[in-house]
Amino acid sequence: MDNQQNSSVYFIGIGGIGMSAIARYYLQRRLTVAGYDRTPSALTHELEAEGADIHYADDVALIPQACLDPRHTLVIYTPAIPADMAELCYFRQQGFCLRKRAEVLGMLTRDMRGLCVAGTHGKTTTSSMCAHILHQSHLHCNAFLGGITKNYGTNYLLSPDSRYVVIEADEFDRSFHHLTPWATVITATDADHLDIYGTEAAYLESFRHYTELIRPDGALIIHTGLKMTPNPQPGVRVFTYSRDGGDFHAANIRIGQGSISFDLVSPIADVADISLGVPVGINIENSIAAMALAQLAGATPDELRSAMSTFSGVDRRFDFHVRTPRHAYLSDYAHHPEEIRQCVQSIREVYAGRRIVGIFQPHLYTRTRDFYRDFADALAGLDEVILTEIYPAREKPIEGVTSQLILDNLPAGKPSRIISKADVVEVVRHLDFDVLITLGAGDLEDYVPAITEAVKALEA
C-alpha cells in the first residue's frame, strides 16, 4: 500500500463520514494525519482530539510542514471537492501521490478479504450490522462505514489480526469500481446520481461492472428482482436474498409490542429466533444480507443471534429520539424516493393505526428535478407531509426546481405544506401526531436536538 513509504497523509475533505474513517485508520497506524474541511463539525473536532491537524480555509499556507514533502506524503481527496480547489491544484502541480478515498479502500480489499455492501439503499445499516456481527464474533474485522454506529460511537473499527474488512461500497462517482470484493451484497439498484450517470441504463451498467470485480474465490449476494444482470467471474458463488424469498430469507416473522423476531433460512445454516435490536421492518432484509455475509465469513449461529439482538443502530438511520406510549420521534437519512417509501412502510408496520407525520428536506436540485413525482408518491404514505427548502450540498440552484414540485404532485386533499427549516421547531410544537419522522441527508439534522425537546414537551 502507498502508506508503506509515506510518513504523513493529508486529507482534502477530512470531515466527510467516509474520509474520517480512513483518517482514523492512519492515525491508528501512527502516521502524521492532517487535512482540510470546509466547516468544523463534531467529526473534525473528534479527529483533532485524536491527533489530526485540521484547518478550515482553502489556503496552501495552512498545510502543515510535515505534509509538504511529496516523497513521503499521500494525499487523499473526496470526489466532491471542486477540481479548481487551491490545495488540490497545489498537490497536483507539485507531483504528490494523490488517491481518491475509494482507491485507498480498494487497496485494502486487495490486502484483506473485503466484505462489501453496495446498492442504492441500505448500505450503511447493512454494512454496520455485518461489522457488528464480525466484531463480536471469533473472526473480528476492520470496518469503514458510512455512518456512526451507536454500539461503538464511530464509523471505523480496527482489528489488526483479522483478515476481514467490511466496506460500504459507494456507487457515487463510480467509486465502488476501485474495490475487489471477496464477498459483496447488492441491496438495490433504483436509479440515483443521474447527475453523474446521465441515464438509468448507465447506472445499472455500473453495478454490472462492479460484479465483475468480485474475486474468483468469492461470492455475490444479490437482492431478488433487481433490474440489473450480474456478470461475475467464473468461480464466484451467486446467492439471492430478500425478506420473503431467495437463498437467504426470513420465516416465521413475529412483529408486535415494539419487537421483531424471525428465523433465518440459509443455504449455509438455518438460524432460529433472530431478534432485532432495532425493530423496524426494513431491518429484516438488512439483517438477512448482513448475516449472509457473516455466515460466508464463518460466523456461527450463536454469534449471529447475539449480535443482531445487541445491534443498536446507526446515527440518522431509524434513529429514535423519543419513544413513549403517546409519541415517537425519529430521524432518518432517507433521501431517495425508494428509501422514503421503505421507511414509511416500516414505520407503518410497527405503528399500525397511528397518525404519522413526516418532515422532509429534499437533497440536491438534480435529484429533486429527476424524481419529484416519485418523492410525492413515496411521501403520500404519510398522514401529513411537511417540506422544507432543498438542501443544495455541492450544487447551484436550477431554475424552476423547488420543493413546490413535490408539493404539487401529492394526492389532492393530502395535508401538506412547505416551511422554512428555521421554523421547524415552532411548527412541531403545534403538530398533531403520534409518530413524527424527519427525513433527508441535509442539515435538517442540526435541528434534531431542539425537535426532540419540543416533542418531549408535548408529553407534559
Maximal C-alpha separation, the chain: 65
Instruction: Give 10-residue mean pLDDT values along the chain (460 residues).
Output: 72 91 90 95 94 97 96 91 94 95 90 95 94 97 91 90 93 89 95 81 94 98 94 97 97 87 98 94 95 98 98 87 91 90 88 94 94 96 97 91 97 95 96 96 93 92
Asked if 311 contacts 134 with a C-beta cutoff of 8 angstroms, the reply is no
Identify the pLDDT of residue 197.
Answer: 86
Cell numbers for 2: 502507498
Asked if 155 contacts 15 with a C-beta cutoff of 8 angstroms, the reply is no
Alpha carbon of 258 to those of 69, 279, 286: distances in Å? 56, 7, 18
Identify the pLDDT of residue 147.
Answer: 87
Residue whose entry in the numeric block shows the C-alpha cell 414505520? 347
For 421-455, give the DSSP string. GGGHHHHHHT---SEEEEE-SSGGGGGHHHHHHHH
**Comparing C-alpha atoms, which of 297, 7, 21 is closest to residue 158?**
21
d(CA 54, CA 62): 9
Residue 372: partners with Cβ closer than 8 Å, 6 or more residues away: 405, 406, 409
d(CA 377, CA 252): 31
Q: Residue 204 corresponds to which amino acid? A: L
**Comparing C-alpha atoms, which of 342, 344, 391, 347 is closest to residue 366?**
391
**Which domains occur in the chain, in start order?**
2-100 (3.40.50.720), 112-310 (3.40.1190.10), 319-458 (3.90.190.20)
Q: Residue 308 corresponds to which amino acid? A: M
SS3 281: coil
Helix, strand, coil shares of the chain, percent, nearest 5, are 35, 25, 40
d(CA 246, CA 221): 10
Cell numbers for 402: 423547488
Asked if 67 contacts 34 with a C-beta cutoff of 8 angstroms, the reply is yes
Q: How large is the angle between the packed helices 301-310 and 282-297, nearest 10 degrees?
A: 140
Residue whose entry in the numeric block shows the C-alpha cell 502543515? 64
Instruction: Spell out the long-range contacts of 61-65 with Cβ–Cβ below 8 A and sequence spacing 24 or more.
Output: 62/36, 63/10, 63/34, 63/87, 63/90, 64/32, 64/34
Q: What are the backbone dihedrals phi and psi of residue 237, each rounded to the nearest 5 degrees, phi first?
A: -80, 135
d(CA 219, CA 182): 7
**Comparing C-alpha atoms, which of 349, 279, 323 is closest to residue 434?**
323
pTM to 2 decimal places: 0.78
